[in-house]
A and B are shown apart, each in its own frame.
Chain A
Amino acid sequence: MKRTFLARRNALLSATRISWGIIALAFAILMLLTRLLAPNLFLHAFTPAFRIANTIAAKSHTFFASFGDTAALAVRNEQLAGENAALATENQALLEKEAGLNRLMGSSGSQKIAASAILAGVVARPPESPYDTLVVAAGSSAGVTLGMEAFGEGGVPLGVVSSVTADFSRVTLFSAPHMITHGWIGHAGLPLSILGAGAGALQASLSRSADVVVGDTVFAPGPGMLPIGSVVRIDSDPSSPGITLLIKPKVNPFSLTWVELLDVGAALRNVFSVATSTP
């Protein structure tokens, strides 16, 4: 008697071939376990790949920018050169003013704060990381601790250190979804809650009566009131009692190459304790 055997078929895995999906899932789980069990090793392994990604992003940006309108780019370049010269002059005047104040008041608190800053290179940035997080090449061995604040060029606050390994840290940007930062807007210092909108954008809601216009600067707390962005659009719905502000960050997180990490709270406490202590 002839017997027929029917192989049991599985949509995902069959005896005749191994599914690429199964291999991919096994690899992803292996990587997840590596990150959970040895996060420092994981980031060391992926750092070269992140660096290649950064290079590709920079090259592609240059390539696509070359298709832009040359005349418009020249005008923009001239305008930026003018703004740069004006800012350099203003910066020089402020430095002289700061030096004068330091001479009057002795050693400044800002110098003490700057001394504790840790300079860290950016390994991965938002174009590759969808959560608006930065992976930076400085960890607990360099003195980085949870809660430190990250600053970009010009001392612009960017985000907060959310996890630390021996040689790397992750900085959650203020623009990350669900990230809430309490700050101020305008020279009047109107308080507001800044909500991360993802992809480097920020937004905030205020009452309709608030005196806010496009171009107003938004500040975040740090060593003083620090500008983090400016209002680029105000959405006003007649049926709503409030307005929504769309805020553009001062520093473009997509082109960051380094950040300064600073324990603002601890540094400020030290400054205040020195300033208020009596001999």
Chain B
Amino acid sequence: MIKNGILTVSTFVSAVLFPWPLTALLALVASFFEPLVPLAAGLFADTLYYAPQAGALPTFTLYGLLLSIIAVLVRGQLRASIMR
């Protein structure tokens, strides 16, 4: 539980303080334990930096959403496998 909290907070702190590849890595690691963290981190990064003229789409939110969906699906598969 504490590990999940530290990973989640680190991802958010990284979005503000450190280059985005580190944030992406932390979000990927956090997704193994908390599937919603990539989506939240992507939304937070776009909230900080996204400017409509910079690109057509809020890339980080979309990538975060994709990663979260994958994480939820993988976790669902793993749980189903354990129940068998």
Which residues of A are at the interface with B, using a C-beta cutoff of 8 A?
Answer: 11-12, 17, 19-25, 27-29, 31-32, 35, 46, 49-50, 52-53, 56, 124, 127-133, 160, 162-163, 170, 172, 176-179
Contacts and interface: CB of A to CB of B under 8 A. Distances in A.
A20 B5 contact: yes
Size bracket, chain B contacts:
35 or more
A21 B37 contact: yes
Given A20-B4, A29-B43, 17 more contacts: A11-B76, A12-B35, A12-B72, A20-B37, A23-B8, A28-B43, A31-B48, A46-B48, A50-B16, A52-B17, A56-B18, A128-B17, A133-B51, A162-B53, A177-B55, A178-B56, A179-B54
A24 B36 contact: yes
Contacts of B5: 20
Contacts of A32: 43, 47
A176 B54 contact: yes
Contacts of A21: 8, 34-37, 40
A67 B14 CA distance: 24
A23 B20 CA distance: 21
A172 B51 CA distance: 7
Nearest to B52: A162
Nearest to B35: A21
Nearest to A52: B17
B41 interface: yes
15 contacts: A11-B76, A20-B4, A20-B37, A21-B8, A25-B36, A31-B48, A52-B17, A53-B17, A53-B18, A130-B20, A131-B55, A132-B54, A133-B51, A133-B54, A176-B55
Contacts of A177: 54-55
Nearest to A25: B40
Nearest to A17: B1
B36 to A, nearest CB: 3
Interface string B70-84: 001001100100000
Interface in B14-51: 16-20, 34-37, 39-41, 43-45, 47-51
Interface string B52-66: 111110011000000
